[in-house]
Structure 1
Amino acid sequence: MRKLFAILALGCSLCMVACSSGGKTVTRIDENSTTDLSGKWNDTDSRLVADEMISGCLGSTKIEKIIGEMGRTPTVVIGKIRNKSHEHISVETFIKDMERALLNSGAVDFVANSAERAELREEVRDQQGNATEETSKELHQETGADWMLTGTINTIVDQEGGQSVIFYQVDLELTDLQSHKKLWMGDKKIKKFISKDSVKL
């Protein structure tokens, strides 16, 4: 009987070890903390690049001078941000980070992009004849943007064995929609060194 209990106890212990070894440990961290597990583009890169580049754009001497000469707050729309890198990068998250930086700056007004405007126009059209006259919004009353912000994300990868260097370059341009003059051009570079036994890019 003792042997039977001993065998059962050993079996339970092994089962507990086996079950626990395949489990996961989840720890909540500050969403603004800097984390870099894989070395690839992440939320920290997106947020920091957006904040730095928007601040650099709106704080440039030329843009400050143009805003002063306009005598009013310019309106900006974000155009296409093209991912030309070797990675899958959530461009939508990067755009949202730039939208937040633009709005929080207080230096410019901001309007919805082309995809968002199409949805908004559909809603306004639906209101015609369906919503009350007092609350129905009118067509052709949109605020036109003065400037458009566009850009690209590129990468260069240098890899040898278990080591690699990933070079990111984000280029942004601010263009006047009326004259098509380029008002500002900026870039942000990030270089990451990754060392591990097996690197998958």
Structure 2
Amino acid sequence: MKSIHGALFALTIVALAACGGPSVTVTREDPNQEIALTDRWNATDSRLVSETMINDMVAFPWYNQFVQANNQRPVVIVQSIRNRSHEHIPVNTFINDIRRAMLMTGQLEFVAGGEERDEIREERLDQELNAREDTVNAMGQEIGADFALTGEINSFVDSLDGQRVTYYQVDMKLVNLLDNREVWLGTERIQKLQQRR
């Protein structure tokens, strides 16, 4: 009886070891190199769309007109980018790519908005109450934005016979905060084809 129990135990151990599944390896890859495992929005899409759209934005006539009239670079606030696509897209990552693209042009400045701005104001108030006088960053010294950038991401999916096309469209606009004029409208499109083998 003991030998039967021992044999069953040994078979159980072998079966459990066999069920361990395939081994997994992880390698580090260049984050600037696209690794497209699906047709979903990815980090490369976010970076390329933001760079293309910001470069287009500063190429429009409003930019030179503003610089000539004011003798300074325009200040932009990114207000909201809405995800209206069929999938979850990390909008904050896309907004950070937009901000980085603006700074990389060397032609724009941007100011913090929303929760980030509120947190900075709280820190400034805390300094007024608690920091040494010669190190305080006083209230009322913020730079006002000249323009507000807004946008949205839309998508649709079409599929037939093992093929699927995913189409993304990013629309953004720049509004003059002084008079609400829209000075730039930009559209960037991405189309991805996924095929089943």
| Identity level (%) | 41
Show the counterpart of 1:186. Answer: 186
Structure 1, unpaired ranges of 5+: 1-10
Read off the aligned partner of 1:188 and give its amino acid letter: E
Alignment of 1:1-201 (within 5 A): 19=20, 21-196=21-196
Q: Secondary structure at the match of 1:140?
A: coil
Read off the aligned partner of 2:84 and give its amino acid letter: K
Read off the aligned partner of 1:178 and give its amino acid letter: L
The answer to whether the 8 Å contact 2:66/2:74 transfers is: no
Alignment TM-score, normalising by the size of structure 2: 0.87
Read off the aligned partner of 1:36 and give its amino acid letter: A
> How big is each residue's C-alpha offset from its partner over 1:106-131, in whole Å with a ceiling of 9 and x where there is no partner?
10111112221100001111112210
CA distance in 1, matches of 2:52, 2:128: 43
Q: Secondary structure at the match of 1:79?
A: strand
Query: Root-mean-square deviation (CA), in Å?
Result: 2.1
CA distance in 1, matches of 2:138, 2:61: 38
The answer to whether the 8 Å contact 1:75/1:110 transfers is: yes
Read off the aligned partner of 2:144 and give its amino acid letter: G
Structure 2, unpaired ranges of 5+: 1-11
Read off the aligned partner of 2:36 and give its amino acid letter: D
Count of residues paired in the alignment: 188
The answer to whether the 8 Å contact 1:73/1:109 transfers is: yes
> How big is each residue's C-alpha offset from its partner over 1:66-86, in whole Å with a ceiling of 9 and x where there is no partner?
323321111111010000000
Q: Secondary structure at the match of 1:128?
A: helix
Q: Secondary structure at the match of 1:129?
A: helix
CA distance in 2, matches of 1:24, 1:74: 50
Alignment TM-score, normalising by the size of structure 1: 0.86
> How big is each residue's C-alpha offset from its partner over 1:51-71, in whole Å with a ceiling of 9 and x where there is no partner?
111011112234233323321
> How big is each residue's C-alpha offset from its partner over 1:140-197, in whole Å with a ceiling of 9 and x where there is no partner?
2111000111100000111234321111000010110111100100100011111227
The answer to whether the 8 Å contact 1:63/1:184 transfers is: no
Runs of 4+ in structure 1 deviating by more than 6 angstroms, as ranges, are 11-17
Shift of 1:23: 2.2
Q: Secondary structure at the match of 2:130?
A: coil
Read off the aligned partner of 1:64 and give its amino acid letter: N
Show the counterpart of 2:6. Answer: none
CA distance in 1, matches of 2:54, 2:175: 14
CA distance in 2, matches of 1:68, 1:185: 21
Relative to structure 2, which stretch is displaced further, 54-63 or 142-151?
A: 54-63
CA distance in 1, matches of 2:72, 2:190: 35
> How big is each residue's C-alpha offset from its partner over 1:31-60, in whole Å with a ceiling of 9 and x where there is no partner?
100221111000000000001110111122
